[in-house]
Amino acid sequence: MIGVVSGKGGVGKTSLVASLATLINKDPALKTIIIDCDVDAPNLALILPSKSNNDIKREDVYNTLKATFENEKCTHCKRCIDEQFCEFNALSWDDVNRIPQLNYLSCEGCGACKVLCPENAFIINPVKSGEIISYISDMGAPLIYGKTRLGSTTSGKLVTECKSYIKNIENFEEYNMVLIDGPPGIGCPVIATVSGLDYVITITEPTPSGLHDLIRAIEVIKQFGIPFGIIINKADLKSPFQKEFKQYIDETGFDIIGRIPFDFSIAKAMSFAQSVVEYDPKSKASIAINEIYLKLKKAFLN
């Protein structure tokens, strides 16, 4: 399993995954499953769609806990408010009906209200936290992605569910490659994505924010002891920060597996909802990504 992550969004992670998936899928020796683990904002499906909507499968996921309140059990003691049962400010008092009101979005399902209420008027139940969508993309490879429901706080768990879902794919044992588009940042979804991978690609750009968040992402990856390499997008960007960025790379000695030049073909490909290697195979970016793919294939995909 190979995952692509980035310390920040907007550095070309999904564009890279779409292009690598396109190239990998053309190799007859590889049967690839693609997962979009950016469950808070999945968009890989926009570039790798399925024209046959009838084949799209959806599965609800219930791994978020929320509190509910049973009015008939309440004795209007107001202890839940006066004694501050909720640390997340999900409880307020309805003066008219003399009962507590629950804020669904603020509730973390911690269960404190259930334990502390003397009348057991609160119940903690699992609620729908998102869904997993799967289909065979037009290129022929299965694509799986999760969508977190608004207000859910368990996107990391949904990522884990997406990774486990691949076993439900028909003839799963015939696939020998899993390519993951991970979420940006360093939070729970990233940790859930990186866990168990064979190799991680970190993509960045030569800017102050790009370097800052690259360092954070690498610190997370190193905690798992997983080998990783760096891809620099917009590598030829004319910026006074290039010198400092190059100094960091030289001092750390981290593996640079590719440099993608600034290329308007990528933006044009996105406007047509295509990977750049499909839209313009001879563009500078496509040539660079193809070199990255060949390097990965030689090192990890054979």
Residue 140's region, left for phi above 0, alpha for psi from -120 to 50, else beta, is left
Is 118 in the same domain as 150? no
Is 153 in the same domain as 21? yes
Is 234 in the same domain as 289? yes
Is 167 in the same domain as 255? yes
* CATH number of the domain where residue 99 is located: 3.30.70.20
Domain boundary among 127, 142, 160: 127
The model's pLDDT over 156-192, given as tens digits with 9 standing for 90+, comes to 889 999 999 988 888 888 888 899 999 988 888 999 9
The domain of 108 spans 64-127
Is 58 in the same domain as 86? no
The model's pLDDT over 123-150, given as tens digits with 9 standing for 90+, comes to 999 988 899 999 999 888 899 999 988 7
Burial 178-190 (b: 16+ CB within 10 A, else e): bbbbbbbbbebbb
Is 207 in the same domain as 261? yes
The model's pLDDT over 78-129, given as tens digits with 9 standing for 90+, comes to 999 999 999 999 999 999 999 999 998 888 889 999 999 999 999 999 988 8
Is 116 in the same domain as 212? no
Q: Are 276 and 263 in contact (CB under 8 A)?
A: yes
Is 104 in the same domain as 229? no
Instruction: Supply the pLDDT for residue 243.
Output: 83
* CATH number of the domain where residue 283 is located: 3.40.50.300
Is 213 in the same domain as 257? yes
Kindly state the average pLDDT of the residues 61-65.
88
Q: Are 246 and 222 in contact (CB under 8 A)?
A: no
**Predicted TM-score (pTM) of this structure:** 0.85
Domain boundary among 127, 150, 174: 127
DSSP label of 215: H
The model's pLDDT over 186-218, given as tens digits with 9 standing for 90+, comes to 888 999 999 999 999 999 988 888 888 889 999
Is 22 in the same domain as 161? yes
Question: In the predicted model, is pLDDT for residue 235 greater than 90?
Answer: no
Instruction: Supply the pLDDT for residue 300.
Output: 66
Question: In the predicted model, is pLDDT for residue 239 greater than 80?
Answer: no
Question: In the predicted model, is pLDDT for residue 302 greater than 60?
Answer: no
Is 248 in the same domain as 226? yes
Is 6 in the same domain as 105? no
Looking at the structure of the chain, the number of domains it has is 2
Instruction: Supply the pLDDT for residue 150.
Output: 78
State the amino acid at position 220 in one-letter form: V
Between CA 176 and CA 6 the distance in angstroms is: 25
The model's pLDDT over 262-287, given as tens digits with 9 standing for 90+, comes to 999 999 999 998 999 999 999 999 99
Domain boundary among 127, 159, 182: 127
Q: Are 200 and 2 in contact (CB under 8 A)?
A: yes
Residue 234 φ then ψ, to 5°: 55, 45
